[in-house]
Structure 1
Amino acid sequence: MNIKATIERVPGGMMIVPLLLGAIIHTLFPDAADTFGSFTGALLTGALPILAVFYVCMGATIDFRATPYILKKGGALLATKVGIAALTGVIAARFLGDGMISGGLFAGLSVLAIVAAMNDTNGGLYMALMGQFGKKEDVGAYSIMSLESGPFFTMVTLGVAGLAAFPWQTLVGAILPLVVGMILGNLDKDLRDFLGKAVPVMVPFFSFALGAGLDLNNVWKAGLLGVLLGVAVVLITGTALWTVDRLTGGNGVAGLAAASTAGNAAGVPAAVAAANSVYAPVAPAATALVASSVIVTAILVPIVTAWWAKRVGAGR
């Protein structure tokens, strides 16, 4: 049976399919975690511990000895992606505060959902696209861009917007697993290879646990809004990233390839809510919206990137 291949045919499948499976189980059997307890209960409710391990492993893949080009390209794209998410979050905060819209087409929309969707690039998608349409240095730029991963920049953005005060210990705690991974990976290449292999393996597990906290009776409401959020991510961040890529000597392809939402971004709302309970009521809806954005951007970004690459004669 080609289970893995079948799942991967779905855009963001290794994140989306387990998340939906967890959501179906929770919707049909809401007391499953309490009923079975033990390891089964831990798997259904253990998103945060799994995410912590995930960030350590991802951090191990980041090389401190990146070339100047990688630093320049990756730094420019990282600063732009995070900066645009922060600017959009600050503007949205004027209208939404720390809550969410409760009715109408935009029901469930929150600053948390917007920032989480825009902050983090789908690394696998970016590297695959740049492997086809860019050069190896552009692929390597993701080693810098991967610093987006996790809830740290989202927490900083919410703090800048005046929506939440996160103690410095919480901010440090959010990025510490990633930093520990970076240190370990740079001290020992074998350890980097060892931990790096676990990154894709962890995605379906934390996605399943996140899904097990969702009720599909509410998730379906995020459908159209999730599509709109995904389109907005591509349009807003894509325009900014394309511009910066061109200004830094690129042809715009790398910028467009980075205009997506990472699968692990679906874990950010839960992590933020764990750090500040103010966001607990909006986290489930935000998770559903970000998950929808993952799918939409995974479809749109390759189309837009391939179209532009053809126009500028990039790729092979």
Structure 2
Amino acid sequence: MQLKRAIEKVPGGMMVIPLLLGASINTFSPHTGEYFGSFTGALFTGSLPILAVFFFCIGTTINFKATPYILKKGGALLLTKIGVAALAGIVATQLIGHDPSTTVLGGLSVLAIVAAMNDTNGGLYMALIGQFGKKEDAGAYSLMSLESGPFLTMVTLGIAGLSSFPWQTMVGAILPLLVGMVIGNLDKELREMFSKAVPAVIPFFAFALGAGLDFKKVAQASFTGLFLGIAVVIVTGAALFFVDKITGGNGIAGLAAATTAGNAAAVPAAVAAANPAYKEVAASATIMVAASVIVTAVLVPFIVAWYAKRIGTITVRSTEPSAVQSNT
């Protein structure tokens, strides 16, 4: 059986399928984890420790060395992504309210909006740049990968005036990533070892996150997540496209970055762990962000392919862009 290939045909499949499996078990047999206990029970409730390992491994893949062009391009796209998410958070706060537990439109929250806009689907970005873009633009993701984790989302929520976090919590959110970066840059062999663990860890924390969801809420939240994903493509895509053009690009890199990373679905739970005020909206935000992962992974490849043909400077290969799933 080729289960891996089948799962990967679904955009963000390695994140989405285990998450839905965990949600299915929790919906129809909510006490399964408690019944078996021990290691099995830990799989149903242990998303945060697994996420700590995941972000450490992600950190080891980030190289300190970067050419001036990569610094300029990656830095511009990174700051734009963060800036747009912060602006969206500020606007949403004015419309939704300053209470972190307030929601509208089927459970839409500021947390969901910011988490969906803050993090780029790295695998999809690299695949699209490799097929349609400039080779040097691929290196920009070495800086953009700093988006991974809940740290920038916490910063953005603080900027939006929706919440504040103790400095210890802020440092704790980014520390595994920073330690991983140091280890990975000190020893190439350790980088290779830990980087291989990144895709293997994803299904486990996704399952644990799903085990905290109920399909009754999923049905309501995922519909809103569809529109959230479209908003991510339109809002962040327009800003990133403009910034890419003014930094010497042709717009491809900007459009390719207008996505939501699979691991962004883990951010609401991490933020709620740091600030219990978000606990009430974390579940619905997780589903909406997961829906945004799928929507952006489906739409962006077609948009990039269309634009590449339109500008006529990129030779489109015979292989159609696939909705490459990634969680980094």
**Do they fold alike, i.e. is TM over 0.5?**
yes
Give the Cα separation in 2 of the matches to 1:99 and 1:244.
34
Aligned residue in 2 for 1:271: 270
Shift of 1:135: 2.9
Shift of 1:43: 0.8
Find runs of 4+ consecutive structure 1 residues off by over 2 angstroms.
99-102
Shift of 1:268: 0.3
Give the Cα separation in 1 of the matches to 2:134 and 2:195.
22
Please, which runs of 5 or more residues in structure 2 have no aligned partner?
Answer: 318-328
Aligned residue in 1 for 2:322: none
Counterpart code for 2:101 = G
Shift of 1:224: 2.2
Shift of 1:35: 0.7
Counterpart code for 2:288 = L
The count of corresponding residues between Structure 1 and Structure 2 is: 313
Give the Cα separation in 2 of the matches to 1:136 and 1:29.
49
Aligned residue in 1 for 2:40: 40
Asked if the contact 2:103/2:281 (under 8 Å) is kept, the reply is no
Summarize the alignment of residues 292-311 of structure 1 with structure 2, pairs less than 5 Å apart: 292-311=291-310
Please, which runs of 5 or more residues in structure 1 have no aligned partner?
Answer: none
Asked if the contact 1:118/1:233 (under 8 Å) is kept, the reply is yes
Shift of 1:136: 2.8
Length-normalised TM-score, structure 1: 0.97
What secondary structure does 1:282 align onto?
Answer: helix
Shift of 1:99: 2.5
Shift of 1:295: 0.5
Shift of 1:222: 1.6
Aligned residue in 1 for 2:79: 79
Asked if the contact 1:110/1:282 (under 8 Å) is kept, the reply is yes
Shift of 1:139: 1.3
Aligned residue in 1 for 2:169: 170
Length-normalised TM-score, structure 2: 0.94
Counterpart code for 1:260 = T
Aligned residue in 2 for 1:6: 6
Asked if the contact 1:100/1:107 (under 8 Å) is kept, the reply is no
Counting aligned pairs with the same residue, the percent is 68
Matched, 1:60 2:65: no
Give the Cα separation in 1 of the matches to 2:37 and 2:135.
47
Give the Cα separation in 2 of the matches to 1:72 and 1:197.
28
Matched, 1:50 2:50: yes
What secondary structure does 1:256 align onto?
Answer: helix
Deviation per CA, 1:74-94: give whole Å up to 9, x if none: 111100001100011011111
Give the Cα separation in 2 of the matches to 1:101 and 1:194.
42
Summarize the alignment of residues 220-299 of structure 1 with structure 2, pairs less than 5 Å apart: 220-299=219-298
Deviation per CA, 1:134-154: give whole Å up to 9, x if none: 233211111100000000011
What secondary structure does 2:44 align onto?
Answer: helix
What's the Cα RMSD here?
Answer: 1.0
Shift of 1:199: 1.1
Aligned residue in 2 for 1:99: 101
